[in-house]
Amino acid sequence: MNVGRTVFSQLMDFLPMHQFRRCVARYRGNRKVRKFSCFDQFLCMAFAQLTYRESLRDIEACLRAMQPKLYHLGLRGGVSRSTLDDANDRRDWRIYADFAQVLIRMARPLYVAEEWGVDLDHAAYALDATIIDLCLSLFPWARFRPHKGGIKMHTVLDLRGNIPVFIRVTHALIHDVHLLDWIPLQPGAFYIFDRAYVDYERFYRIHQTSAFFVTRARRSHRFRRVYSHPVERSTGLRCDQTVRLTSFYPLKTYPDQLRRIRFVDAETHKRFIFITNCFTLPALTITQIYKCRWQIELFFKWIKQHLRIKAFYGTSENAVKTQIWIAITIYVLVAIVKKELRLDLSLYTILQILSVTLFEKTPISQALSYPSCTLADASTRNQLTLFDL
């Protein structure tokens, strides 16, 4: 596989280049471009993500130090700070958003057999949004509060493999609940979200598509009990009820019955009230399904710590979205490499190894495997004996 090729070049072999060229052609990304193509831009930004570069000047200095190796990476154009800055500002960010979706479609079948915390065959998706803070003086277009800027990343995470299947980057003022209007619903799947997404009209739309939702009830939740099911109180369950809404507008938008489950955590002694439209699974399983929602919080924490999506190389909206989508592309690419090479390593470990071996000329599978650290037998050492004991 490797004949004097760098690890970076081998890593880029996992990209479907014909699909990348289609994305570029769709938005005419290379129109009137003579030297620095969209793929050159992608390689520079991918290098920045993989090696944790701090700025455009940092990217330029590091790549110019490796100038003799850049041609073999596929980087045909000259690397300069101003050229990369112009590309980030002017080239449509949707090129990289569409390409990220291509990689997501490649990654999901690789993780279809992964466990997600509950022994169910159903697909399960966690929905949430995270705010990325921005300096208002540098990003005036991202005004969030009188003295604060920010953007919001709405995400749907497939709990099998923690692969983001849908992402939309908006202004931070956009409410989380709008995510339910944007995503395509999958019959038979579970959608798990917190109280910020409680909207009974949208819940009824999920219910009508034969999908299931699991969420926590708001304190203003008003209902009428229709039937109470027996529960095992030693498990933390307090009630499992079939209910109907009683408030005027919620009842008008969701006329069917709901399931209400009250649960007390034995460790924290916190009380939780869950509502769902799934009546077939045990009540304790519903509580376990909601607990898996925490994986999306860990996903947000992980990408903010290990990818460059909190500090940006450009200040325009196009540059910010370009950087975020290329970061997501790198995340999914590393997830694909992990499965394709059958690596028993975490994504964090793979990223750390790649960050220091990108320009090494060694097979990528060898670079991403730990060397054997067996000690030599003392009787076969070549060290001479200096003293007779």
- Residue closest to 211 by CA, chosen among 223, 203, 219: 203
Quote the tokens at residue 41. 């831009």
- What are the tens digits of pLDDT across the range 67-105? 877 877 777 667 889 999 999 999 999 999 999 999 999
pLDDT at 373: 38
Residue that wins the pLDDT comparison between 387 and 170: 170
Mean pLDDT of 239-262: 94
pLDDT number for residue 174? 95
Q: What is the pLDDT of residue 70?
A: 80
CA 67 – CA 106 distance, rounded (Å): 32
334 token code pair: 């590393």
Residues 6+ apart with CB under 8 A from 252: none
Under a CB-based contact definition with an 8 Å cutoff, are residues 155 and 130 in contact? yes
pLDDT tens digit sequence for 124-183: 999 999 999 999 999 999 998 888 899 999 999 999 999 999 999 999 999 999 999 999
Confidence category of residue 219, pLDDT binned at 50, 70, 90: confident
Place of tokens 């850049």: 70
* pLDDT the model gives residue 266: 87
- Give residue-wise pLDDT tens across range 259-303: 999 999 988 889 999 999 999 999 999 999 999 999 999 999 999
pLDDT reported for residue 379? 47
pLDDT over 50 (residue 378): no
Distance of CA 209 to the CA centre of its chain: 25
The secondary structure of residue 340, as a DSSP letter, is H
pLDDT at position 372, please?
44
Among residues 192, 229, 193, 186, which one has the least CA distance to residue 209? 186
Rounded Cα distance between 151 and 172, Å, is 4
The token duo for 225 is: 């009990």
Q: What is the pLDDT of residues 4-17, one digit of tens each?
A: 788 999 999 999 99
In 3D space, the residue among 73, 86, 97, 83 whose CA is nearest the CA of residue 10 turns out to be 73
pLDDT at 382: 53
Place of tokens 């980057």: 169
Close Cβ partners of 95 (under 8 Å, ≥ 6 residues apart): 23, 24, 26, 27, 29, 38
- CA-nearest of 158, 162, 117 to 285 is 117
The helix or strand, by DSSP H or E, that contains position 224, with its residue range, turns out to be strand 223-229
| pLDDT over threshold 60, residue 2 | no
pLDDT grade, residue 386 (50/70/90)? very low
For position 65, what pLDDT does the model report? 86
C-alpha span between 83 and 139 (Å, rounded): 21
CB 368 within 8 A of CB 6: no
How confident is residue 232, by pLDDT bands cut at 50, 70 and 90? Answer: very high
State residue 147's pLDDT score. 87
Selected residue with higher pLDDT from 66 and 109: 109
pLDDT at 375: 39
